[in-house]
Amino acid sequence: MANTLTAQEIREELARLQGWKRADQSILKDVELTDFDAAMRFVGKVADIAGREDHHPDIDIRWNKVRLVLSTHSAGGLTAKDFQVAALIDDIAT
């Protein structure tokens, strides 16, 4: 099982990301795209990352807005894996 990060480690990791915020034992990011089709294409790319990394975000789609939430449920909080996947998502979100 992965070790959860300390509050300081979480702050440091968040500083490296683009637009992610802490929400209790998770991190979240809202991404706004041009329309529903673009949102769905983006979610497809996120799904590819999630499958490859074996780490799956919660995803909420509202027409052109996508909310992503990451947490390592099995560890009961945030781990390095959450931030690794968030960074990969940032790469496709820009």
Alpha helix stretches (DSSP H) within the chain: 7-16, 36-53, 80-93
- Of 88, 53, 52, 91, nearest to 72 by C-alpha is 53
pLDDT (0 to 100) of residue 94: 74
Judge whether 69 lies within some domain. yes
pLDDT (0 to 100) of residue 2: 77
Judge whether 14 lies within some domain. yes
pLDDT (0 to 100) of residue 1: 61
Which amino acid is present at 35? D
Judge whether 1 lies within some domain. no
Q: Which pLDDT tens digits describe the chain residue by residue (94 residues)?
A: 679 999 999 999 999 999 999 999 999 999 999 999 999 999 999 999 999 999 999 999 999 999 999 999 888 899 999 999 999 999 999 7
CATH number at residue 46: 3.30.1360.20
Judge whether 53 lies within some domain. yes
Judge whether 65 lies within some domain. yes
Judge whether 2 lies within some domain. no
Query: What is the count of structural domains for the chain?
Result: 1
| Residue-number span of the structural domain to which 38 is assigned | 7-93
Query: Measured at the alpha carbon of residue 82, what is the angle toward residues 77 and 88, in degrees to the nearest 5?
Result: 170
Structure tokens at 62: 């509202």
- Of 29, 25, 27, nearest to 43 by C-alpha is 29
